[in-house]
Structure 1
Amino acid sequence: MNAKAKNYTRGKLRQKLSDIDLAIVRYLGELDRADEVYEQTGTVMPEARMERALCKVQHLQKEAARYRSIEKRMDETGEAQVSLSDPDARSMATTPRMPRVVGYNVQTAVDAENHLIVAHEVTIHGYDRDALSMMALAAREAMAADQIEAVADKGYFKSEEILACEEAGISVVVPKPQTSNARARGRFDKADFAYDAKTDTNLLVAGAASPARRTKGEQA
């Protein structure tokens, strides 16, 4: 996995160059003030302090040159990201609760009967929802099967992907993620209703009950 510190986007480079410019201005300002103090009072800045400021400026200038060389590379190649440790790794968004990861997303399809990996694919997408049909088709081809049933977790649920599998003759079992917060708020959610095509209405499923909902201070 490529370290996050060695993965660069244009936005990240702009921010780093801006920070460097501000730091250089700060150190040069410190040297200018030392010159003013010397002219006014004859007091000389301690040599160690001056040496430190000069070294910092030189270091920052080298860093700026390095970042500009990466920026130039991106201009020449059209890359949106550059990873120095692993050139193929990319910064990927995963979930709102998890930070971005610089690396890969390895998709695998396993034969449920023999528990063997029959297909794999490396992607640079931090999510799985676009991979269902790709992996199902690859698995069917690898197994030389006429028909297969693809079973995946809810992270693979996407109507377009399920439709693509159905059109390819692959049956799919993927749970639909619960995105509604209605039940937590004491209301019925979509799963509590069934559509009646004859009347074009949604009917409450038998046995469904609204969760108890109380405000503060209320007692059962």
Structure 2
Amino acid sequence: MAESNIHTLVHKETITLFPVDYRISRHAIFLINRNNIDSPLPLLSEIMRSKGFKVTTDQEKADYIMRITSYVTMPTNKNDQALPYSAEFLLSMREKLPVIKPLLVQSGDSPGEQMKATAKLVHNSNQGILGSDASNIISLGSTFGGGAGGLIAGAAASVIDTTASIFSRNSIREGLAGFEFSMTKNSGFLNQVSGLNVYAASATPEKPEALLDAAIGRAAAEMERD
């Protein structure tokens, strides 16, 4: 991003191609949380509207249905590891969130390669569910506290089980924002599936919201271009 240390990365799945007539400024979309269909996404909608998306809360009036998985990997209390937290959950407590360490460090790997590696760990932590679901993203039962913003384990047993599973299999690092989605037309059968996986990370400490804003902004730019 211009005048920023935030980098973005777009990964187009092989099965996804956008309809040639699609533009975010032309078509109304209805958002569905891919991990919990009944969960609204008002805060993500707010950012998306600021980027030009025509988000509607009336599914019948939507031209397209967008199924979203969005997260930021946040620090925990365990060995400098991190976990993916639902973007909507994080935005609901945006004033309390810590500035998180940069994912992008000086190494032999490019920023894109570093983002891909962390995104792969997030996807591999989902216990075999389709990678695009990233099903172990935590959305409930957790709070942030302490100088480093570490995770205090929530009361929900499912959250504790999930964190144990992820820790046992991966070493996810903090500082990656993911905005992953698929789209179908809001009518008919055998619709073409369209979508992108978009990631953002920084070479300097950032607020999680800044990373999400960058990822969604890149998604908007890619979709309007196509």
Query: Normalising TM by the smaller chain, what interval?
Result: under 0.3
Give the number of the structure with larger relative contact order, counting CA–CA contacts within 8 Å between residues 6 or more apart.
2
Structure with the larger strand share:
2
Higher gyration radius (CA):
1
Structure 2-normalised TM-score? 0.22
